[in-house]
Amino acid sequence: MSDSKLTILAIGGHVGDAELTAGGVLASHSLKGDHIVTLALTAGERGVPAGQDMADYREQKVREAHTFAEMLGGEAIVFDTPDGELKDDEDNRWNVCDVIRRVRPNIIITHWKNSMHKDHMTTHRIVNDARFYAGLSSFERELPSFFASKLYYAENWEDAVEYQPYAYVDFSQEAFDLWIKALSTHWFVTGSKSFPYLEYYKHLARVRGIEARKEYAETFMIPAETMTLRQSEL
């Protein structure tokens, strides 16, 4: 992989979070030859289908994470933490820090700070601190320090409170088709009765594309401290 290629690390609280909310952009970058890595801090197994064993469903979710990533020519990482039990602690921060130092991403994508789901909010806090830890050489770990220069928060229907689209990133029909094909390998996206995930995110990508005067797009927020417009005159 040449130096001009990017590495993008998309981090979700559960398998499927990053794939749903940033998958179109991830697919677009994969078609450009960039390296895609997904990290799920839990598998998200508590959404188990009726009548299925939760442990079996967890294994299925992990397989689905790897399938999605492999279809984009990338890799998937899933932590062992049980769904719904993600702790807002230093161990998780160091674990994510170590992934950042190994993957060395140019860009990190994760959850917005507010959510109806506690694992999403916890993931947001963990990732923000882990990025800081990963970038400081004075924090001695097995791998050398690395600072991911860009951080984005993806649009998620569960993370909607105070979310305002800031960056619109458009992508092609080819990227859309790859995303939907890969996304459809996740059972909950196509089979869940609680929310029409596939329909919602397909239409959202089209709506955001229209707003951007493009075909398809996904939107992102950025850290508040980076929302600075520097110019010498109006």
Write the CATH number for 107.
3.40.50.10320
Is 1 contained in some domain?
no
Domain count, the chain: 1
**Is residue 233, in this structure, part of any structural domain at all?**
no
Q: Is residue 72 part of a domain?
A: yes
228 domain-assigned? no
For the whole model, what pTM was predicted?
0.96
**Which domain, by its residues, includes 36?**
7-223
pLDDT tier, 46 (very low <50, low <70, confident <90, very high otherwise) = very high
Is 2 within the bounds of a domain? no
Residue 234: inside a domain? no
Res. 229 pLDDT band, cuts 50 70 90? confident
Two tokens at 78? Answer: 């899933």
Task: Decide: 110 and 154 in contact? Cβ < 8 Å.
Answer: yes
Does the pLDDT of residue 2 top 70, yes or no? no
Domain assignment present for residue 47? The answer is yes
pLDDT at res. 3 = 60
Q: What is the pLDDT of residues 112-133, one digit of tens each?
A: 999 999 999 999 999 999 999 9
35: CB partners within 8 A, 6+ apart: 1, 5, 6, 7, 8, 73, 74
